């Protein structure tokens, strides 16, 4: 120990076996009274990757802030610190004085606490306020029914709604649960992309080229209701344009997930051939075709083969519905189960509107 001090937020207790699910999930660094950093980055070697094993660094998003907002970051840290013991010294300059204005970008620090729903209400409001674009990046997407309905309604109103999520998650169960929500989003016209790299851990949003958010909050009930989270909202067109350019660049390294167009025009392919055994070969050929097609077009078809994932996700949600982490688990599980029934019944389904191609990156402005 060389003078540092460490405190544990909400340690495990036998008296409250599920209490530990409420975490301090903030990722924050404040240096002196000059600069603050907010991101999704944890202090872990995974973010660096492992070149010797061919594992690339994780994809994350962070920002550096100067000016008055730095004090807001320090105050958010000080409040959490004081909840665990003695507070920080009152004479610290960052707590006594507000740093001078350092630019003309309008920012707001959003520090949320457990059992509050401020960011959840904000994210829901954005689905209603978006008029042109709503582009989301999330590491552990498990949307609640009202939020998913909001995204679907925005897409049906003509908003370009996109969701970028990991293709391969460090938490496979969460990745599987996330995929159970694809069908209803895709059917409504929301475009879903899976990152092709090692792990996408970023949490960001950009709306109408005017508003953006970067921070630690995921689009799930744990972040919205269970954790201490920290995000920064920007109402600045120049910053939003940079976020849009970065989003488009990320899509160049992602694969779009689409619904099968097999039933377009009322045509439905059914198993046929010289023998019943040809069904297995046809299924294998279809999987191969989908794989090759994804490699060529950066699009992957969501087909009936994923019904097992849907069912598994529904069962996990049902089993954990009593946990504080998934307070709305039963309702979400019911929706997931309906999705399973829909895929089993409909095998291959078609989108309500054609899916366009991935746009080329415009470059940062």
Catalytically active residues, by annotation? 25, 27, 32, 201, 203, 208
Write the CB contacts of 216 (distance below 8 Å, at least 6 apart in sequence): 25, 26, 27, 38, 39, 40, 203, 223, 229, 230, 231
Euclidean distance between the first and final Cα of the chain, in Å?
45
Strands 28-31 and 133-137: unpaired
Q: At CB < 8 A and 24+ separation, what contacts does 124-128 make?
A: 124/150, 126/205, 126/207, 126/211, 127/151, 127/153, 127/154, 128/153, 128/154
168 vs 174: CA distance, rounded Å: 10
358 vs 365: CA distance, rounded Å: 20
Helix (H, G, I), strand (E, B) or coil at 302: strand
Of the candidates 203, 202, 187, 217, the residue with the CA atom closest to the CA atom of residue 335: 187
């Amino acid at each position: 120990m060389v003078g540092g001090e460490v405190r544990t937020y909400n340690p495990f207790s036998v008296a409250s076996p599920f209490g530990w699910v409420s975490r301090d999930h903030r990722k924050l660094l404040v240096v002196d009274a000059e600069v603050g950093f907010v991101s999704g980055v944890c202090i872990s070697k995974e973010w660096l990757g492992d070149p010797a094993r061919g594992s690339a660094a994780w994809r994350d998003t962070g920002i550096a802030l100067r000016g008055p907002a730095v004090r807001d970051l320090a105050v958010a840290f000080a409040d959490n610190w004081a909840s665990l013991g003695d507070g920080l010294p009152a004479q610290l300059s960052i707590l006594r004085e507000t740093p001078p204005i350092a630019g003309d970008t309008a920012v707001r620090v959003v520090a949320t606490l457990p059992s509050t729903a401020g960011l959840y209400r904000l994210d829901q409001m954005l689905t209603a306020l978006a008029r042109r674009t709503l582009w989301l990046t999330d590491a552990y997407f498990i949307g609640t029914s009202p939020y998913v309905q909001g995204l679907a309604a925005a897409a049906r109103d003509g908003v370009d709604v996109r969701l970028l999520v990991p293709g391969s998650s460090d938490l496979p169960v969460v990745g599987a649960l996330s995929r159970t929500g694809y069908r209803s989003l895709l059917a409504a016209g929301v475009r879903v992309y899976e990152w092709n790299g090692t792990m996408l851990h970023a949490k960001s949003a950009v709306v109408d080229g005017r508003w953006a958010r970067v921070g630690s909050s995921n689009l799930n009930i744990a972040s919205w209701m269970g954790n201490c989270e920290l995000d920064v909202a920007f109402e600045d067109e120049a910053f939003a344009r940079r976020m849009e350019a970065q989003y488009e660049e990320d899509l160049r390294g992602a694969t779009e997930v689409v619904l099968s167009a097999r039933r377009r025009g009322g045509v439905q392919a059914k198993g046929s051939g010289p023998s019943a055994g040809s069904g297995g070969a046809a299924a294998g050929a279809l999987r191969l075709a989908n794989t090759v097609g994804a490699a060529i077009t950066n699009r992957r078809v969501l087909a009936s083969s994923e019904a097992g994932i849907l069912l598994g996700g529904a069962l996990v949600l049902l089993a954990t519905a009593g946990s504080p982490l998934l307070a709305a688990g039963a309702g979400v599980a019911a929706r997931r189960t309906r999705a399973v029934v829909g895929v089993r019944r409909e095998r291959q389904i078609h989108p309500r509107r054609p899916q366009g191609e991935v746009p080329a990156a415009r470059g940062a402005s």
